[in-house]
Amino acid sequence: MAEKTVAVLFGGRSVEHEVSVITGHQIMDALKAAGHRVLPIYLAKDGEWYAGESLHNLRLYTDPAGEPTSAAGVARVSLSPDRSIRQLIVHPGTRQGLFRKSPQLWADVFFPCLHGSFGEDGSLQGLFELADVPYVGAGVAASAISMDKVLTKVICRGAGIPVLDWAVLSRPELNREAAGVLERIERTFAYPVIVKPVCLGSSIGVKRCHDRATLRQAIAAALNLDDRVLVEPALTDFIEINCAVMGPPERASVCEQPVTHEAILSFDAKYKRGGKGVKQAKRPEGMASLDRLIPAPIPIALGERVQNMAAQAFRAINAAGTSRIDFLYQSDREALYLNEINSIPGSLAFYLWEATGLPFDELVDALISIALQRHHERAQTQFSFEVNLLRKKDEPVSDIARQKP
């Protein structure tokens, strides 16, 4: 692919901020290896945007004394929703001439590497749509659906994809009738159950509960992180199987089996424990640090079943770019359930694509091509009509133009 300027957005106002920083740096490394120019855009934890070449330096984020937003050549910026403004807006107060020797404050394509709230949930994608810029990954609706575990279940079950039964409760419900809510859950499911925030990832706030006391504690903790909580039955004697899908058109990766010594694959297990997975020379590990078996040691027929179901789920929510789709499998019943869809997976699941035969630099190239093609196709859509429903019948246009507001 010809050289492009790619704006890579990472960080964000989310509990997955640090995970996003790792993903962003992995993507910037891969983009440079593929021969592209990179414009780093760091979204701080308070939501402010910063741009500058210096932000492509992981030590700024790992050193307790470091402050990325104060690095040389970095300034606050914003992306205008006005599609006629084809540059990032520099925040007032930025020193004049700061970017004289830096990359242009615009890009051919925007590459979001944000996980969780305000980045993976459709919010940022809506801004990209308003600004009319090409961007990598799922659109507004697909991002919102995949971020919301309840919507994911509803859509996938409607598409004929098996999911576990569930109950959902909200913060106001619990405040009104805590005892009644707990009783409703106990009538619906036998213990143990799993409690999850509806719209969070990276296993944050997820807990396995064996009785009412742990259920009450888990719900209270999850409602500190989200305003809705999902409760579903906890499977026993199962394995996790994950598969990545890219498209459109859809293409599935090899499958993996995460390995954990815990009842739930926790945040610490995913990101804080070194693993024996794909080798990552001179690269921040992120999700690649997880102990994983690639390819998954499962029968060929089961692997094909997972791949087909993953592609089916990808199509069902109208996803784009690359997603990692996670499944739960009970071998004694040969039961396969879709667990969740990650529209911006940690590390972009590059380790699955590398194991499929697609190197990281070729992966980012493919994602950029998909983004540019989708933007071109969307430009063919007519969004407005030349008609004025506010004009009175037979009133001359010139008279309207002379009227004061």
**Distance between CA atoms of residues 310 and 242, nearest Å:** 9
pTM: 0.87
Taking residues 313-334, report their average pLDDT: 97
List, for residues 153-163, the tens digit of each pLDDT value: 999 999 999 99
145 compared with 97, residue with greater pLDDT? 145
Same fold, 5-136 and 167-233: no
Question: Is the CATH code 1.20.1260.10 the one for domain 167-233?
Answer: no
Q: What is the pLDDT of residue 101?
A: 43
Domain covering 147-161+237-358 in this structure, CATH number:
3.30.470.20
Q: What is the pLDDT of residue 94?
A: 67
pLDDT of 100 > 80? The answer is no
List, for residues 209-260, the tens digit of each pLDDT value: 999 999 999 999 999 989 999 999 999 999 999 999 999 999 999 999 998 7
Domain 5-136 class, CATH top level: alpha beta
pLDDT of 330 > 50? The answer is yes
Confidence of residue 190 (pLDDT cuts 50, 70, 90): very high
Q: What is the pLDDT of residue 67?
A: 87
Q: What is the pLDDT of residue 204?
A: 81
pLDDT of 267 > 70? The answer is no
pLDDT of 51 > 50? The answer is yes
Domain-wise residue ranges, the chain: 5-136, 147-161+237-358, 167-233
Query: Mean of the per-residue pLDDT values for the chain?
Result: 88
pLDDT of 270 > 80? The answer is no
